[in-house]
Amino acid sequence: MRNAIARTAFTAIATLAAAVAFAAPTAELKVTGVIKPPACTPNLAAGGVVDYGIIPASSLAAGQNKKLETRQVDLSITCDGPAKMSVKFTDNRASSRVAGITGRATDPYNFGLGAVAGKNVGGYALSFDANSTVDGVAARNIYSGDNGRTWNGGVVYLQHDGQLFSFGNGSNQPVAFKQLNAKINVETTLNKPENLPLSQDVPLDGSTTIEVNYL
């Protein structure tokens, strides 16, 4: 009986040893990588600064808002591959808006110019010039009020309350591009002098963030 048990144990040990001896070495092959959308970089000429310089307080007329000369700033967006994208505008001085000062129908088109001594300085409106190009070809300025589900042409003024703006073809659909060139018109209006602390310097302090979104 003891011999049978010993033979059984020996057989089990021998079988295990043979399995270990003949186990094949292994190597793992991995497939990795990341699919990335084209990267697009926006750039504004002159660092994005629209400078009106020194504005004499004496040039402001009592009871009137002062409309300054319309300025333009060049916007370019460069992508490392063809991409459909939109831009969104955020007013960083929203608390300083002066209702209706820019003459636009509604305040979503009115951006604040900052405040001094608790007084709001004024406002400005933004619009795309009609001569936008993508990859050197004329493009139509278009906009979406439903987060890109539908698009409309004929955009004039740019608003800060959630609309997306893009560049499209004749059927008002965004087109893919590697290079956008556009001009943004800046129409600035100052508050009435009686609403400003003119015993001190009153700097203009408008600030808008332009955000690129991929479609």
Q: Which domains does the chain have, with CATH numbers?
A: 40-214 (2.60.40)
- The per-residue pLDDT for 17 is 53
Does the model's pTM come out above 0.85?
A: no
Cα–Cα distance, 132 to 186 (Å, whole number): 16
- The per-residue pLDDT for 100 is 87
- Give the H or E element holding residue 10: helix 2-21
The pairs formed by 150-158 with CB atoms below 8 angstroms and a separation of 24 or more are 155/128, 156/127, 156/128, 157/104, 157/109, 157/125, 157/126, 157/127, 158/89, 158/109, 158/125, 158/126, 158/127, 158/128, 158/184
- The per-residue pLDDT for 15 is 55
Give per-10-residue mean pLDDT for the chain (215 aa).
Answer: 48 52 80 86 94 96 96 96 94 93 77 96 94 94 94 86 89 94 96 96 96 91
- The per-residue pLDDT for 6 is 46
Burial (Cβ within 10 Å: 0-12, 13-18, ≥19) of residue 29: exposed
- The per-residue pLDDT for 24 is 78
- The per-residue pLDDT for 197 is 97
- The per-residue pLDDT for 162 is 82
- The per-residue pLDDT for 5 is 47
